[in-house]
């Protein structure tokens, strides 16, 4: 139960990451590895500002803005300077490593004694007589609320005229150019939005875990992708692959389920060191599975 609760909270903290990866991978079909740097960037900005005594909500906002800047930089390098998409992300990710170290001043910043958004919530919740063991209530409420707001906001966004334009940009560039849309600008905004969400995850996770670490973003894009793939599978089960609402809710469910699976695997003896190779293999198999199924089908006929 305790294990499940921890996985639920961590899953909700990583929900913005899942949504961010969903935007680049599924809406734009753009493998954006900036995520590895921008998650840490979000954590680093929050850690530095919290240690300096800045209001935690301002620190979260600053992380989101930093993530947007990092993502749109990848977008600019990719579209305006015409650098391969993957390489654009790698360049920004690598540059962010230095920026993150500079932001934090060292490779690990503990936040156990600083005021965070979570400690700020503890008192009013306590005053209402609401509490749970190990102070799990503030993160559960905060991360859950943020996840719900994001799903609601993105579902709304993707149905506005601007959101339709963004989806069409990922779907068919020729078509949307003919409708008068500058696809470069749309990509820059979209990749920026994705990384703003990913940096938000970094900020939340740092505050929950009580530290920001230079290595916390390593491989995170694969974790995000695993969540999106689990979400897609769930969406497929519900049989509504095109409904934006369902897909976004399934991404959140995917991030939570992914964390539950990770927690379960660790508790039955998976070494934490092996977590990344297992996740990478999972994503590879998940990508190959539909393909082998169609290969088998064509061979059968």
User: Binding residues for another protein, per CB under 8 A?
Assistant: 156-157, 159-165, 167-168, 171-172, 174-183, 242
Name the nearest CA neighbour of 14 among 232, 227, 229. Answer: 227
Minimum distance between the CB of residue 194 and another protein, rounded to whole angstroms?
A: 18
Minimum distance between the CB of residue 23 and another protein, rounded to whole angstroms?
A: 14
Name the nearest CA neighbour of 190 among 26, 17, 14, 28. Answer: 28
Minimum distance between the CB of residue 165 and another protein, rounded to whole angstroms?
A: 5
C-beta closer to another protein: residue 57 or 162: 162
C-beta closer to another protein: residue 40 or 169: 169
C-beta closer to another protein: residue 14 or 68: 68
Minimum distance between the CB of residue 263 and another protein, rounded to whole angstroms?
A: 34
Minimum distance between the CB of residue 148 and another protein, rounded to whole angstroms?
A: 19
C-beta closer to another protein: residue 145 or 172: 172
Determine phi and psi for 31, rounding to 5 degrees.
-75, 100
C-beta closer to another protein: residue 129 or 180: 180
Instruction: Give the span between the Cα atoms of 155 and 172, in whole angstroms.
Output: 20
Instruction: Give the span between the Cα atoms of 132 and 2, in whole angstroms.
Output: 11
C-beta closer to another protein: residue 134 or 161: 161
Residues in contact with 35: Cβ distance below 8 Å, sequence separation at least 6, in sequence order: 17, 20, 21, 24, 89, 93, 194, 195, 198, 217, 220, 221, 224
Measured in residues, the chain has a length of: 301
Instruction: Give the span between the Cα atoms of 90 and 94, in whole angstroms.
Output: 6
Helix (H) or strand (E) holding 211: strand 211-213
Minimum distance between the CB of residue 42 and another protein, rounded to whole angstroms?
A: 24
Instruction: Give the span between the Cα atoms of 301 and 295, in whole angstroms.
Output: 10
Ranges of H-type helices in the chain: 2-13, 15-21, 34-51, 56-79, 85-104, 117-127, 137-157, 161-171, 173-178, 183-209, 220-238, 244-267, 275-300
C-beta closer to another protein: residue 183 or 195: 183
Minimum distance between the CB of residue 175 and another protein, rounded to whole angstroms?
A: 5
C-beta closer to another protein: residue 73 or 186: 186
Minimum distance between the CB of residue 114 and another protein, rounded to whole angstroms?
A: 36
CB 21 within 8 A of CB 35: yes
């Amino acid at each position: 139960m305790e294990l499940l609760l921890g996985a639920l909270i961590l899953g909700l903290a990583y929900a913005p990451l899942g949504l961010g990866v969903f935007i680049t991978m599924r809406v734009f079909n753009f493998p954006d590895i900036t995520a590895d740097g921008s998650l840490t960037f979000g954590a680093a900005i929050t850690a530095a500002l919290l240690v300096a005594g800045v209001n935690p909500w301002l620190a979260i906002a600053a992380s989101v803005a930093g993530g947007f800047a990092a993502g749109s930089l990848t977008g600019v390098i990719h579209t305006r300077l015409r650098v391969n998409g993957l390489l654009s992300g790698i360049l920004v990710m690598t540059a962010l490593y230095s920026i993150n170290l500079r932001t934090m001043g060292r490779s690990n910043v503990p936040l156990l004694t600083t005021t965070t958004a979570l400690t700020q919530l503890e008192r009013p919740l306590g005053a209402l007589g609401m509490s749970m063991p190990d102070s799990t209530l503030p993160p559960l409420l905060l991360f859950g609320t943020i996840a719900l707001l994001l799903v609601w906001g993105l579902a709304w966004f993707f149905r506005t005229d601007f959101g339709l334009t963004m989806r069409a940009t990922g779907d068919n560039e020729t078509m949307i150019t003919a409708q008068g849309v500058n696809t470069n600008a749309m990509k820059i905004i979209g990749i920026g939005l994705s990384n703003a969400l990913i940096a938000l995850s970094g900020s939340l996770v740092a505050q929950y875990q009580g530290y920001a670490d230079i290595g916390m973003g390593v491989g995170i894009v694969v974790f995000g992708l695993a969540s999106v793939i689990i979400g897609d599978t769930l969406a497929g089960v519900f049989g509504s692959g095109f409904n934006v609402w369902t897909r976004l809710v399934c991404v959140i469910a995917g991030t939570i389920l992914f964390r539950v699976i990770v927690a379960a695997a660790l508790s039955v003896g998976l070494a934490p060191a092996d977590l990344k190779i297992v996740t990478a293999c999972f994503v590879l198999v998940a990508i190959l599975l539909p393909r082998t199924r169609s290969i088998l089908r064509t061979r059968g006929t």
